[in-house]
Amino acid sequence: MKKYITLFTFICVLFLGVHTATAQENAEVRAKNRTIKLEKTLELSSQQVKQVYQIFLDLERENSSSDLEALSSARKKISDVLQPKQREEFLRSFRNERMRQEKVTEANRNRQ
């Protein structure tokens, strides 16, 4: 019986380790994809890309990508990294995305 408990504990620890590593990789991939999208939209410099990537990575690692306060904070940090023209475009694209999400939400409500 003791062997089974030890084996079960080992399997649980192994599973948690794999799950943590996968979550870490997923956070990095999501941060990279978000950064690439912003880089193309705003024509970021290499320094800006590094800073924006780090902001997105921190956001993803904290699992706060759905937390409005964390998103707002990240958006503010990114705005601080951008040049004035880039900032205008960033805010415009953010507003457009928000409007698009509201339309989808409203369409889903109407279907129900």
Task: Provide the greatest CA pair distance for the chain.
Answer: 68
Q: What's the confidence (pLDDT) of residue 49?
A: 92
The contacts found for 52-58 with CB under 8 angstroms, 24 or more apart, are: 52/78, 52/81, 55/81, 56/30, 56/31, 57/27, 57/28, 57/31
- At residue 84, the pLDDT reads 93
pLDDT of residue 4: 58
pLDDT digits (tens, 9 = 90+) for 81-110: 999 999 998 888 878 777 777 777 887 888
User: Token match 């408990």: residue?
Assistant: 5
pTM confidence score: 0.66
First to last CA, the chain: 53
| Interatomic CA distance for residues 102 and 57, integer angstroms | 26
What is the per-residue pLDDT for 55? Answer: 93
pLDDT in tens, the chain (112 residues): 666 566 556 565 556 555 454 555 688 899 999 999 988 888 989 999 999 999 999 988 887 656 778 888 888 999 999 999 999 988 888 787 777 777 778 878 887 7
> Which contiguous run of DSSP H or E holds residue 4?
helix 2-42
